[in-house]
A and B are shown apart, each in its own frame.
Chain A
Amino acid sequence: MMMQMVLQRIAIGFATLIVVSVIVFLMTSVLPGDVAQIILGQSATPETLAALRKELGMDQPGYMRYFSWLGNMFTGDLGISKAGGATIESLIGGRLSNTMVMAGLVALISIPISIALGLWAAMHPGTWLDRFVTFGTLSTISVPEFFIATILVLILAVELHWLPSTAYLTGEENFFELLGALAMPLITLVIVVSAQMIRMTRAGILNVMSSPYIEMAILKGVPKRRIILRHAFFNAIGPIVNVIALNLAYLVSGVVIVETIFSYPGLAKLMIDGVQTRDLPLVQACAMIFCGTYVLLILLADIASILSNPRLRNPK
């Protein structure tokens, strides 16, 4: 039963990826204008145009091009950037790992903070500290990521001179320099991602807290700590894991903004540059990486909530 549901989710996740790839391919292929024409410019002769089209596979029908593009994606052959003609793999390589390092660090810092604060707020509803956390997180999720980043730059870089306002890497920094450079984007993302996670953790626990079995535990004389940690948390764990995965997926959009503000050489910055120069093969590749990660995380969230359901875990 449970296995079946998990497999079903995986199948749906896979199907979604296929649909996503079709959308990405369609949106970036059915362009106004002829790519070969754009590459070769106005002076191109019909012969060279035809040759280039053949080379690019443009003479083939759309679905054939889609399948060969998809096949190439899977084998890691991401194509050639329009700007400069470098292979996209080479452009993406280092950038991808930079983004992964950042996202990993954000997850590592924000998950424990969020669960702890969310739990704490749920344990003391209505106190001024709970209200402060509620208001603070509500405000944070209400404002754009760049607002947080701008305020942080103003305070930490401009006024206090504690941290650099950009995170440009040369590749020769030592550990502390690296940490200093990464600090601003990290803090921004941690604040943005944690706010959402804290709110959802708190709401998840409070939702469980209003169920009759919690009242029963109170009437059995069970101490508060145990009510939260044993009775409530175990039932809220599914929703919480779900929240974590969803918010890590949400990092995708945060990363886009933050990398731009701090000129962090990550994948998102690369993609924005690609959009600005309308370098479509590059946008395609980056979009597929981001969307794939996103779909994967959503899938993990789904599976986590299935696995944490006691009814499914212990069938009749």
Chain B
Amino acid sequence: MEKEKLLEVRDLKISATNDDGEIIPIVKGVTFDVHKGEVVALIGESGSGKTTISLASLAYTKPGLHFAGGQALLNGEDLLSIEPLRTRELRGAKVAYLAQSAAATFNPAITIGEQVTESAVLHGVMTQEEATRRAEELYHALELPEADRIGYRYPHQVSGGQLQRLMAAMALCGNPDLMVLDEPTTALDVTTQIEVLKAFKKVIQEENSAAIYVTHDLAVVAQIADHIVVLYGGEIMEQGSSDQIINNPSHAYTKRLMAAVRPTPQSGLGTEIGAEHDRDLPAVQVGNMTAGYGGIVSGEPKITILRDIDMDVKNGHVVGVIGESGCGKSTLARVIAGLLPQARGSIKLDGKELEGDLHGRKLEELQKIQFVFQMADTALNPKQVIGDIIGRPLEFYHGLKGRQKHAKVVEILEMVELPADFATRYPMELSGGQKQRINMARSLAANPEVMLCDEVTSALDSIVGANVIKLLTSLRDRTGVSFVFISHDLSTVASFADEIVVLYAGRVVEQGPTNEVLDPPFHPYTRLLISSVPELRIGWLEETMQKREMAVGIAKDVEITAVGCPFFNRCPMGIEGKCEQESPPVRNLEDGHQISCHRTIEELNQAEMEIQQVLHGYEKPGVDDSHPTAH
């Protein structure tokens, strides 16, 4: 049964004009269809042209781009050749757009309600009263709090996850035929992403609207799309039903993409570390450390970011620090590096206490701890060539000069798998992945004992990021350097860390060897994190979501509290009167596995059994998960 075609894209070509007036093809002849009630995913890495293609369905190109050929027929009308005034009638009424960052796309000076209903009212689809009522219905459907009042607020007054859902309401308000969703969950934390994804899926089903879903994340696509178009360099590599692409990809590039997706975190995946680098003393020990910003009054900073942190980094080990935005994971690295002196507690290097402020540290101590910044773009001075960037630590710590220095630079470039002639290039001339390698090479040049890597793969495409992780692993094996690997992405951390530290609102809630942390018993927050990472499997979202909330906690704003357990307001098994008032005790399990919770290990084990029952109980009725979406 062939459904009615809504959008037909035929041999679409889009080009850019650069400053010299040269024309560069961006989209090189793309053909696909969107049927009524169908979600089509455009998947690809940066530079694949996925956003550019999706905007064509709004008859729009970003400034500097222009249509160079082909057709995009919306209900038979060619969007590429219509009158400018007609595009205005279509946008918002027939096709609606949902952008990546809701925080930037909501106008800060206008109330949410006016922005949500604006398009529907302007296009005469409905009156202001009808639109307002419709918006409220949508707020309910999207499970937004205070649906009757949220419309009177300003964008900065609601949270990021809520704003993302409000943008969906904005897109849906005028009953468009087609929605274009451009990476709508990419900027969100994993526990928020799943809520938003669920809400999107629900309204798309209820409204039976068609959608183009643009993303780089295969696991997300598997949950929401009916049809997948795989793009690379402005061309289609492969397209087909979700089932075919996910379970039986045929193109080598798609396979490569699948391989770069980190497996869902579970025990037994991390590399087992050989004993050859083990020594008695941990390389870095953090003891009972509290840190934050603002003046320090009796060991308490004005704004506390980290509270009572205890952790060890063993020699030659990779310690993964995991947590959501604002949990203080970057601050932890800054404190260890001496960029932010701690208010209280100690940092030890090879058993020797370090000064909090890096100005008080010895050159040798500075050399042994190296910081790798998240964004290679800003971490490399744009006015220095690579040779100088890598050469500086060689000169500064080891006194190398001239030819000796150059030889070492070449050697280090080799270590990060880059050619020697990169030494004369400027950072701007390199790609994102190459810059990140230079960023790490600079730290390697110091010949450190510990490297602090702050979200070094988050800004990279999945294949590039996977290569960087591979490089990190081989560096660890070859040099015996210890790594503190900070990330918001549990799958990445779980795939190669030896130990994991889970941070929540500035506190360690659970830590231990990777296998122990990823096996029950779990801290309730770890449980929430694990169950929030989308699996690359069709039907996963339905399975998990139905009972997930009651089982593992709810998405709420993170509260940073001075007393009690910070996770209390989201915890499904919190004990009222206790958790919010007393700091949770640290419960020690085998192999240094620690959980910080008021619940006993027995209670946590019991809870896990119940969760398993809930999750698997849903599977039992025999739902065939190869047909994910029923209409």
Contact = CB atoms under 8 A, between A and B. Distances in A.
Nearest to A219: B97
B58 A219 contact: yes
Interface string B95-112: 011010100111111100
A314 B157 CA distance: 8
Interface centre among A217, A221, A310 (most CB of B within 10 A): A221
A212 B156 contact: no
A24 B108 CA distance: 43
A311 B156 contact: yes
A155 B371 CA distance: 68
Interface string B107-125: 1111000000011001100
A150 B170 CA distance: 57
B150 to A, nearest CB: 13
Contacts of B110: 230-231, 234
Interface residues of A, number: 21
B91 A218 contact: yes
Contacts of A217: 107
Contact of B154 (A212, A215, A230, A314): A314
A213 B58 CA distance: 16
A108 interface: no
A220 B91 contact: yes
A316 B91 CA distance: 32
B203 interface: no
Contact of A311 (B107, B108, B153): B108
Interface in B156-173: 156-157, 170
B101 A212 contact: yes
Interface string A224-240: 00100011001100000
A139 interface: no
B93 interface: yes
A215 B100 CA distance: 13
A219 B156 CA distance: 22
A171 interface: no
A66 to B, nearest CB: 36
A155 B119 CA distance: 52
Contacts of B99: 212, 215-216
Interface string B143-160: 000000000011011000
B157 A316 contact: yes
Contact of B108 (A221, A223, A235): A235
B107 A220 contact: no
Nearest to A308: B109
Contacts of B108: 213, 235, 310-311
Contacts of B109: 234-235, 310
A212 B104 contact: yes
Interface string B62-90: 00000000000000000000000001111
Contacts of B58: 219
B397 interface: no
Interface in A188-238: 211-213, 215-223, 226, 230-231, 234-235
Interface string A132-165: 0000000000000000000000000000000000
B524 interface: no
A125 to B, nearest CB: 11
Contact of A221 (B89, B154, B157): B89
Given A226-B122, A311-B156, A314-B154, A221 B107 contact: no
A177 B107 CA distance: 51
Which of B90, B92, B96 has the largest count of A CB atoms less than 10 A from its CB?
Answer: B92
Contacts of B96: 220
A316 B157 CA distance: 5
A213 B105 contact: yes
A213 B104 CA distance: 6
Given A212-B99, A316-B156, A221 B91 contact: yes
A311 B122 CA distance: 26
A223 B122 contact: yes
Nearest to B156: A311
Interface string A288-316: 00000000000000000000001100101
B60 interface: yes
A251 B593 CA distance: 71
Given A234-B109, A234-B110, A316-B156, A220 B92 contact: yes
A182 B294 CA distance: 57
Contacts of B93: 221
Nearest to B123: A221
A280 to B, nearest CB: 46
Tell me which of B93, B108, B153 has the highest count of chain A C-beta atoms within 10 A of its own C-beta. B108
B100 to A, nearest CB: 9
A215 B263 CA distance: 37
Given A226-B122, A311-B156, A314-B157, A221 B90 contact: yes
A211 B97 contact: no
Contact of A222 (B55, B101, B118): B118
B364 to A, nearest CB: 47
A218 B58 CA distance: 10
Contacts of A223: 88, 122
Residue of A216, A218, A219, A316 most packed against chain B (CB within 10 A): A219
Contact of B122 (A216, A219, A222, A234): A222
Contacts of B153: 314
Given A220-B97, A221-B89, A212 B105 contact: yes
Tell which of B108, B109, B122 has the most Cβ of chain A within 10 Å.
B109
Contacts of B87: 221
A227 to B, nearest CB: 10
A233 B326 CA distance: 34
A222 B93 CA distance: 11
Contacts of B91: 218-221
Nearest to A210: B63
Contacts of A213: 104-108
A211 B108 CA distance: 11
B402 to A, nearest CB: 47
A215 B106 CA distance: 10
Interface in B510-547: none
Contacts of A219: 55, 58, 60, 91-92, 97
Nearest to B90: A221
A196 to B, nearest CB: 25
Contacts of A234: 107, 109-110
A206 to B, nearest CB: 13
Contacts of A311: 108, 154, 156
Interface in B330-383: none
A47 B88 CA distance: 89
A226 B106 CA distance: 16
Contacts of A215: 99, 105
A21 B145 CA distance: 56
Contacts of B123: 221
Nearest to A224: B88
A314 B110 CA distance: 11
Contacts of A226: 122
Contacts of B106: 213, 216
A60 B439 CA distance: 67
A47 to B, nearest CB: 61
Given A212-B105, A218-B60, A310 B88 contact: no
A212 B96 CA distance: 15
Nearest to A212: B104
A125 B60 CA distance: 19
A171 B424 CA distance: 76
Top 6 closest A-B pairs, CB basis?
A221-B91, A221-B92, A220-B92, A212-B104, A234-B109, A220-B119
24 contacts: A212-B99, A212-B104, A213-B106, A213-B107, A215-B105, A218-B91, A219-B91, A219-B92, A220-B96, A221-B88, A221-B92, A221-B119, A221-B122, A222-B88, A222-B92, A231-B107, A231-B110, A235-B109, A310-B109, A311-B156, A314-B153, A314-B156, A314-B157, A316-B157
Given A212-B104, A220-B92, A220-B119, 5 more contacts: A211-B104, A213-B105, A215-B99, A219-B92, A222-B88
